[in-house]
Structure 1
Amino acid sequence: MNFVSKDSIVRQIWGKTDTVLFIFAGAAAEFSLNKAVDWLYFTGKLPKDPLGRLFSTVAYAQKIVFSTSDQAHAAIDQITLIHEQVETARNAKIPDWAYRDVLFMLINYSIQAFELLERKLSQDEKEEVYDTFFRVGNRMKINELPENFNDWQIKHAQQLKENLAYTHFSKDLYLQYQKHLGKLRYLLMHEIQALIVPGRVNQLLQLGKGKSVIPILWLYKLSRKLKIDHTIRNLILPGRYKEQILGLGRNA
C-alpha cells in the first residue's frame, strides 16, 4: 500500500522538479525567519551548506510521497531519530511549534508552487495536500495539528504572526544563499520568493513584488510546451547541486 495514492494531486505536485524547486525557494525564505533556526545552526550544517540542508529536507518529503506506507513510516521515523539525537547533543527539546512550522511550510509551498506554475487547486485537492502532511506530523507525534485544511489556514496565519522574526541568522543565511548560488541565480531565487511567500514573510525580508521574474516565468511555461524547458533549467542550475536537483525528478 502506498503512503500517497498514485493518482493523488500530491504526487503530481511533488513529481515535477520545477514545482519542487519552487517549494524549496519558498522554504529557504521562511526558514531564515523562523525563531527556532538556531537549532539548525547548532549542528553547523546549515551555515556551512544551507542549500544542501534544505534540499535534504525537500528530498525526504518527496521520498515519503512516493513510498509505500512502510517505507514512508521508516523515513519519518528516521527524521524523528535525527532530531532526537540533536536534542540529546544540545540537552534541550525542540519546541513543538518549530516542528509544526516546518510541516506548515511543506503544506503551504506545495500549494503555492503548484498554483504559480500550473493551475489553481480545488478545495478537495488542498484538503488532500493537508491530509498527507497531517499524517506525516501524526507519525512524528507533533502536537496540536489542525484537523482539516480550513483549521490549518487559521493556525498557519497565527504561526506566521508569532513564530517569525528577522534576526542575524536571517541576514547570515541570505549571505550564504548568495555565496552558494552566485549573484544571478540568487537574484532569480529572490524574485521567485517574492511571488510565492506569504505577505508576512515578504514584509520581514523586504522581497518586493517579484515583477521582474513574471515575464521569465511566462517564457518558461512556454518552453515547457515546446519541450525545451529541461535545457533552460539545466543552464540555470548551480553546478554543485545539479545532480541532486535532477535526482528529484528521477526519484519521482
Structure 2
Amino acid sequence: MKLFVKKDSIVREIWGKSDTVLFIFAGASGEFALNKAVDWLYFTGKLPSDPLGRLFSTVEYAKYIVFSPVEEANASIDMLRKIHGAVEQNRGAVIPDWAYRDVLFMLIHYSIASYELLERKLTYEEKEEVYNVFYRVGTRMGLVELPSTYTEWLPVRESHLKENLKQSKYTFDLFKQYKKNLGWFRYEVLVESQKLVVPKRVKKLLYLNDFSLLAIVIPIYKFSRNMKMGKFLKNLLLPSEYKTQIKKLDIQPG
C-alpha cells in the first residue's frame, strides 16, 4: 500500500502535532482575512458564522490527506474540488485559479514557519519535501502555473502576497468573528501567534508589530511540553468545545 506521504517524511512530523497545526491556523487565519477572494467563503456563510469549526474541518481534511494511502488521498482531493465546484455552480461564477494557489501557498508557508518556530530550522531538502507534498495536492486539483520546486516557488509566493492581499470589509468582520468566538484572552493569543509566523506583507496590512509576548512564552511552553505540562496549557488556551478535535490532531494514523 503506497502512502501519499512516506512515513519518515518531515510533513508527517509537522502535521502530526497539534501545536504546529494550531500555529498553521493562526497564521492562515490572518492572511486569509486579507485575501481578495475571501468573499467566496462569505457566500457560503460557513466561515463568518463558525470560523473555528471551519478551521477544524479544513485541518482535518489536510491531515487526512497527509496520513492516507495514495488512493484515499486522491479521492479526498477530488472530493474537495467537487465541493468547490458545487459552490461555483450555485454562485454562477468561477473561483479564480490564483485563489486556490493562495490557499495552497499558505499551507506550505505556515507548515514551514510553524515547525521552525516550535521545533528547529528545516533543511533545504525538508522544505523541498514540504513543497512537493502540497505541489502534488495542487496538481491533483488541476491547478496550473505551479512552480515545480521550492526555490522557484519563493518569488511566486512573494508576488502573490503583493498582488492578492488587501484590507477589506471582510478583513475587519472576520477578526470581529474571531474575537467573538474565541473570547478576549484567546483572541489576543491568536494575534500574538500571528506576529510570529506571518510574512512582513501580512504584518503591514494587519498593523501588527514585530514584538510578540509569545516570543517570551514559547521557550517556557517547550520546556513544559517536555515536562508533560503541555496538555494543561493547551487546554487553558482553547475553548472547551474544541478540546476533542485538538486531541485528535495529535494522533498520527498509520
Give the TM-score normalised by the residue count of structure 2: 0.97
Match of 1:60 in 2: 61
More deviation, 100-109/215-224: 215-224
Distance 2:225 2:99 in 1: 37
Please show how residues 21-36 of structure 1 align to structure 2 within 5 Å: 21-36=22-37
Unaligned runs of 5+ in 2: none
Contact 2:36 2:164 (C-alpha < 8 Å) held by counterparts: yes
Please show how residues 181-200 of structure 1 align to structure 2 within 5 Å: 181-200=182-201
**1:179 counterpart = 2:169:** no
**1:153 counterpart = 2:154:** yes
More deviation, 237-246/26-35: 237-246
Question: What do residues 160-199 of structure 1 show as CA deviations (whole Å, max 9, x unaligned)?
Answer: 0000001110000000000000100000110010110000
Contact 2:193 2:212 (C-alpha < 8 Å) held by counterparts: no
Distance 1:223 1:238 in 2: 20
Q: How far 1:138 moved relative to its partner?
A: 0.4
Q: Partner of 1:208: helix, strand, or coil? A: coil
Size of the aligned set, in residue pairs, is 252
Unaligned runs of 5+ in 1: none
Contact 1:10 1:129 (C-alpha < 8 Å) held by counterparts: yes
Match of 2:126 in 1: 125
Match of 1:206 in 2: 207
Q: How far 1:249 moved relative to its partner?
A: 1.5
Contact 1:24 1:55 (C-alpha < 8 Å) held by counterparts: no
Distance 2:6 2:252 in 1: 16
Give the TM-score normalised by the residue count of structure 1: 0.98
Q: How far 1:251 moved relative to its partner?
A: 5.3
Distance 1:58 1:152 in 2: 23
Distance 1:109 1:94 in 2: 23
Q: How far 1:236 moved relative to its partner?
A: 1.4
Root mean square deviation, CA, Å: 0.9
Distance 2:167 2:66 in 1: 32
Q: How far 1:240 moved relative to its partner?
A: 2.4
Distance 2:245 2:13 in 1: 20
Match of 1:87 in 2: 88
Distance 2:176 2:139 in 1: 35
Quote the sequence identity (%).
57
Q: Partner of 1:206: helix, strand, or coil? A: coil
Q: How far 1:63 moved relative to its partner?
A: 0.7
Distance 2:61 2:230 in 1: 25
Contact 1:76 1:140 (C-alpha < 8 Å) held by counterparts: yes
Please show how residues 78-117 of structure 1 align to structure 2 within 5 Å: 78-117=79-118
**1:69 counterpart = 2:70:** yes
Q: How far 1:224 moved relative to its partner?
A: 1.3
